[in-house]
Amino acid sequence: MIEMIQVSHRFVIGKKGRERVVPVLHDIDLHVEKGEIVAIVGRSGSGKSTLLNLMSGYIHPTSGTIRVAGQAVTGLSEGDWADFRLAHLGFMFQSFQLIPSMTAFENAELPLVLKGIDVAERKKRVMALLHQVGVAEYAGHYPGELSGGQQQRVSVARALMLNPPIVLADEPTGSLDSDNERQLLALIRELNRELGITFVLITHDEQVAATAHRTIALKDGYLLNAPRKGEAHSYEIQ
């Protein structure tokens, strides 16, 4: 489902004329199978968020090839990436990234709006998903009126709105208490089991990592291991 071949990435920082190159990822080879839940773990600064951002198209690799859902995405224009994201990817963020001036309904509806779906169809789909994630009664509430757990559920509804085959989640439980974390992970497992959605989770939480079929560890921009689906977890954060 996601394939990274010899992907490297480096940032150029500093003012013009005094730039400094900071390598972040080195020769990453990674394969995520369809229907897998993959956790990417590593310490802060290990490059795990950069890895996810490369899969999301928010940044582009310095070298290497990335294929997502069977399509080579390296070299896509910004507009093509936007269409690709809408068609194939769902996103969950640590801080939920809901638009504060929009209600839970409007936030969840956003991908459908961007896709140009009819109002009646939108209403049906949004309410069904909000119901599924358990926040239908808060549809008219603004994010500021919701708890962290409720906001993340709205964010999950938004991520799943267009039935994407892949959901990329950056520290999805990072802002949740243990109860909400447990519920969210249960929801992720359920969605994976029932809908076959592939999840890539960035986390440093062992409980989240334990939810995954496979855990990939990163250290200083290098991939320590990338066991396939069904193999035992074999990572150690040093």
Partner 1 sequence: MKFNDQVRFVRQNMKKNKTRLFMTVLATAMGCAFLIVLASVGFGLQKSIVDKVVGDRLVTAIDVYGIASEDGVDRQIDEKGIAYLRSVDRVKAVTYRNNVRQTIRSTVDGAAVMPGKVINVDFEAETAAGFGLSAGRLPQADDEVVIGYYSRIPAEGFKPGDEPPSAGEWLGKTMSMEASQFETDGTERKKSFSVKIVGIAAKPSREWQIDNSVYIGNAAMGNIESFTGTQWGEQRIAPDKENPEGYEPPGLQDPRQYSEIQVIADGARHVKAIAEQIREQGYFVHSVADELDQINLVFLIMKIGLVFVGTIAVLIASIGIYNTMTMAVTERAQDIGIMKAIGAHPSAIRRIFLLESALIGLLGAIIGTAVAYVVSMAVNAGLPLIIEGFMDEKVPQDFRFSFIPGYLAALSSLISLAVALLSGSRPARRATRIDVLRALRRDL
Catalog residues that contact partner 1 under the rule CB under 8 A: 53, 56, 58-59, 78-79, 82-87, 89, 91, 93, 95, 97-99, 101-102, 110-111, 113-116, 158-159
The residue among 82 and 186 lying less far from partner 1, judged by its C-beta, is 82
Task: Determine the Cα–Cα distance for residues 179 and 75; give it in Å rounded to an integer.
Answer: 42
Distance CA 197, CA 118 (A): 25
- CB 76 to partner 1: min, Å: 13
- The least CB distance from residue 97 to partner 1, in Å, is 5
> Do the beta carbons of residue 97 and residue 168 sit within 8 Å?
no
Residues 90 and 199: their CA atoms lie apart, in Å, by: 9
Closer residue to partner 1, CB minimum distance, 85 or 219: 85
Give me the numbers of helices (H) and strands (E) for the chain, helices first please.
7, 10
Of 164 and 221, which CB lies nearer to partner 1 in the complex structure?
164
- Least distance in Å: CB of 161 to partner 1? 9
Q: Which is nearer to partner 1, 107 or 150 (CB)?
A: 107
Quick check: helix, strand or coil at residue 57? coil
Decide whether 14 or 193 has the Cβ nearer to partner 1. 14
197: Cα separation from own chain's centroid: 12
At 125, list the tokens: 């789909």
Structural tokens at position 216: 């990939």
One-letter amino acid at 164 equals P
Closest CB 175 distance from partner 1, rounded Å: 13
Q: How far is the CB of 89 from partner 1 (least distance, A)?
A: 8
Cα distance between residue 223 and residue 233, in whole Å = 14
Nearer to partner 1, 6 or 101 (CB): 101
Neighbours of 199 (CB within 10 A): 25
- Smallest separation, CB 126 to partner 1 (Å): 14
The answer to whether 176 touches 140, Cβ cutoff 8 Å, is no
